[in-house]
Structure 1
C-alpha cells in the first residue's frame, strides 16, 4: 500500500489493527447487551405468570439498553451505517469536498470529545461519592455508567482517528462506495431499512 493510496493509514499497522479491533469489540459488546435485554425481558415476561420475580429486572434492562446504544456508536460510525446528512457534501468534489469532510469531522470530533469528557467525569464522580441506584438493588451507579461513558470515549477516539486520516489526505472510511448496479442499490436500501 503506497502513501498515495487514499485508504492508507498514517498509523503503524499495530495501532491501526488495535483501533479497528477496539471498534469491533465495542460493536460486539453492544450486541451482547442487546441479547441480555432480550433475556431479561423474556425472564420478566415468563416469570410473571409463574410467580417468579426478577429483582430490578427493569433497571438491568434499562442499563443494558443504554450500554448497547452507546457501545455501538463507534462501530456503527466506522461501518458507514450512522445516519448522516450528506445533501451538501455529496454534491461536492475534489478539494472542496475534502475541506467540508474535514470541517464536519472537526465539529463531530469536538462534540464527541466534549460529551465523552463529561460522561467520564460523571462516571468518576459516581465512583468518588459511591452513588447508588435507587431501585430494588442498590448497585453502585458507576458500574452501569461504564457502558455509557465507555461508548462515548470509544466514539470520540473513532472520530478523531477518522479526522486525522482525512486531514492527511485519506478518503473517509465511513463512506461506502457508490453502488455499481441498480440491484446493489436496492439491496443496500433493503439492508438499511430505507
Structure 2
C-alpha cells in the first residue's frame, strides 16, 4: 500500500512540475513569437489552466513534504496526548473540508463534461480537461490527509512532522 501511495504522490508531483514547465514554454513561445510580429492564440488562457493544475496537483505532495504554511503556535507547544488530540482534530477537520471540496469539484467536472462546456477564450477548450487536473489534485490531497490521519490515529507521527520544514510557530 505504501508503494502505491508513494507512486500516487510522485505522479501528482511530476504532473505539477510538467504544468509549471508548460507555463515556461508558453511564455517563452509567446515572447519569441512577438519578435516576428506573431501571437500564440490562447497562450494566456493555457498558462492560466497550467498554473491552476500545478497548484492543485502539488497540494498533496506539499503536505507530505511539510511545505504547507502551518501556524504551530499552539500545536508546537503541546506534548504527548494533548498534542496528539489537537493534531487529530486539525487533520480530521482538514480531511472533512478537503473531501467536501474534492467531491463537489469532481461533480462539477463531470457536469462540465456531460454538458460539453467550453472555455470562452480564443481557444474553445473543453472545461472538463483543466477541471479534471484540479479535481485530481484535490483527491490526492484528501488521500494524503487520510494517510496522515491514520498514521496519527495509530500513534505514529504525520508525514509533515519529519519532512524537514518547520511550521511558522
The answer, yes or no, to whether TM exceeds 0.5 is: yes
Deviations 1:100-148 (A, max 9, x none): 1100100110111011011101101101100011111111110111111
Question: What secondary structure, in the 3-state scheme, does the structure 1 residue paired with 2:161 have?
Answer: coil
1:43 and 2:29 are equivalent in the alignment: yes
1:151 and 2:137 are equivalent in the alignment: yes
Instruction: Please give the alpha-carbon distance, in whole angstroms, between the structure 1 residues aligned to 2:123 and 2:58.
Output: 27
Shift of the 29–177 alpha-carbon distance from structure 1 to 2, 3 Å rule, reads: closer
In the TM superposition, structure 1's runs of 4+ consecutive aligned residues that sit over 2 Å from their partners are none
- In structure 1, what is the equivalent of residue 84 of structure 2? 98
Matches within 5 A, 1:1-194: 15-176=1-162
Gaps of 5+ in 2: none
Cα pair 2:66 2:163 within 8 Å, conserved: no
> How large is the RMSD of aligned CA atoms in angstroms?
1.7
Instruction: Please give the alpha-carbon distance, in whole angstroms, between the structure 2 residues aligned to 1:22 and 1:116.
Output: 16
Shift of the 57–177 alpha-carbon distance from structure 1 to 2, 3 Å rule, reads: closer
Offset of 1:165 from its aligned partner? Answer: 1.2
Question: What secondary structure, in the 3-state scheme, does the structure 2 residue paired with 1:174 have?
Answer: helix
Which of structures 1 and 2 has the bigger CA Rg?
Answer: 1
Shift of the 177–45 alpha-carbon distance from structure 1 to 2, 3 Å rule, reads: closer
> Larger relative contact order (C-alpha < 8 A, sep ≥ 6)?
2
Offset of 1:46 from its aligned partner? Answer: 1.4
Question: What secondary structure, in the 3-state scheme, does the structure 1 residue paired with 2:19 have?
Answer: helix
